[in-house]
Amino acid sequence: MIHPNFLSAANQLELEWCLRRHREEYGIARCATAILLLDKGKSCAKIAEFLYLDDDMIRGWYKAFRQEGWVILVWAV
């Protein structure tokens, strides 16, 4: 289970900024959206359903984020 509120304030701002710029690749924006929704307590299954992805992909993005930070998501797409 992924517990909510795992993002630091700085990480949350970076991810939100990524989404608001509208210049990121679609895949990167989906990763950022998934991480932000996980931080708000949404389940991997619900996020996957919303984004039309597999829930294992959402878990993989979360794991990559926890290990390497949000920049690693660029490579996870």
Of the listed ranges 2-16, 23-37, 50-64, the least confidently predicted one is 23-37
Q: What backbone phi and psi angles, to 5 degrees, belong to 20? A: -75, -20
In a domain, 4, yes or no: no
Q: How confident is the model at residue 20 (pLDDT cuts 50, 70, 90)?
A: confident
In the predicted model, is pLDDT for residue 77 greater than 70? no
| Predicted confidence (pLDDT) per residue in 48-73, tens digit | 999 999 999 999 999 988 888 877 66
pTM: 0.85
In a domain, 45, yes or no: yes
Q: Residue 23 has what pLDDT?
A: 64
- Please state, in angstroms and as integers, the Cα–Cα distance from residue 37 to each residue in 40, 56, following that order: 5, 15
In a domain, 54, yes or no: yes
- Tell the residue number behind the tokens 């992924």, with chain if given: 2
Q: Residue 75 has what pLDDT?
A: 60
Domain range spanning residue 49?
9-76
In a domain, 1, yes or no: no
